Structure 1
Amino acid sequence: MDVEQLCRDHGAREVTIARDLTEMGERDIATRFDAAIVDLMLGGVSTLDFAAGLRNAGLPFVFASGYSDAEEIKASFPGIRLVAKPYSGEDLVEAVASACGRVSAG
């Protein structure tokens, strides 16, 4: 599934794809994005610290991953949705809309 195109099809003007955490940096994270879709692993590295930074910055996000220890995510990130792969585009769009406090247009 082309997540970038899916986001654009649902109104995203800019989409940033990162293949590893070094592409993201840590400064001013809250001013760089309106929302995020976070895979639990990028380049073999856990993204949980990055996700904690998003949460601390108040940035809406969801996890979308094939690596799914749902209980660990629920315990560490209560209220943050995990969309497990394989997922449909509709599931992902609805999860991001919900994280942003919006109702999905689907």
Structure 2
Amino acid sequence: MSDLLSGMRILVLEDEVLIAMDVEQLCRDNGAADVVVARNLAEIDTDRAAMEFQAAIVDVMLDGTSTLDFARHIHERNVPFVFASGYTDLDEIFAAFPDIAVIGKPYSGSDLVEAGAAAAGRRPA
């Protein structure tokens, strides 16, 4: 693996347990210092998230609840993130977040890591 996420503290918003575990391990394998997984928005203090994380991987829907307001909040506070989602109606996402990468499920681990690293201004060596 690589060190594209070296030293970063990453938030993963994902409601599917197995996917969340895979993404957490993928981030760690790529150098993340810490990975915090939240399965719903109630687990996250939105204001603190903007101060505590260097990047986020955000599923568009968590247990039927949209994460777009949360994404808007961290975007306004310059927290780099990517959407990783199986959500099929992407027009709203692209309109609201034209500069944010959307990685569709199922995705490859390298695509997700590279998109997250690119969002945080890191490029492969």
Query: TM-score, normalization: structure 2?
Result: 0.79
Q: CA RMSD in A?
A: 1.2
Match of 2:42 among 6, 14, 22: 22
Residue equivalent to 1:64: 84
Q: Where does the alignment leave 5 or more consecutive residues of structure 2 unmatched?
A: 1-18
CA drift of 1:28 comes to: 2.6
What code does the residue aligned with 2:44 have?
Answer: M
Q: What's the secondary structure of 1:17's corresponding residue?
A: strand
Match of 2:117 among 77, 97, 102: 97
Match of 1:82 among 102, 105, 112: 102
What code does the residue aligned with 1:14 have?
Answer: D
| Number of corresponding residues | 105
Query: TM-score, normalization: structure 1?
Result: 0.93
CA distance in 1, matches of 2:52, 2:63: 22
CA distance in 2, matches of 1:96, 1:21: 20
What code does the residue aligned with 2:73 have?
Answer: G
Residues 63-85 of structure 1 deviation map (CA, whole Å, 9 limit, x = unaligned): 00001322221111011000000
Residue equivalent to 2:10: none
1:42 matched to 2:52: no
Q: Which has the higher contact order (CA 8 A, sep 6+)?
A: 2
Q: What's the secondary structure of 1:12's corresponding residue?
A: coil
Match of 2:72 among 52, 55, 66: 52
1:4 matched to 2:21: no
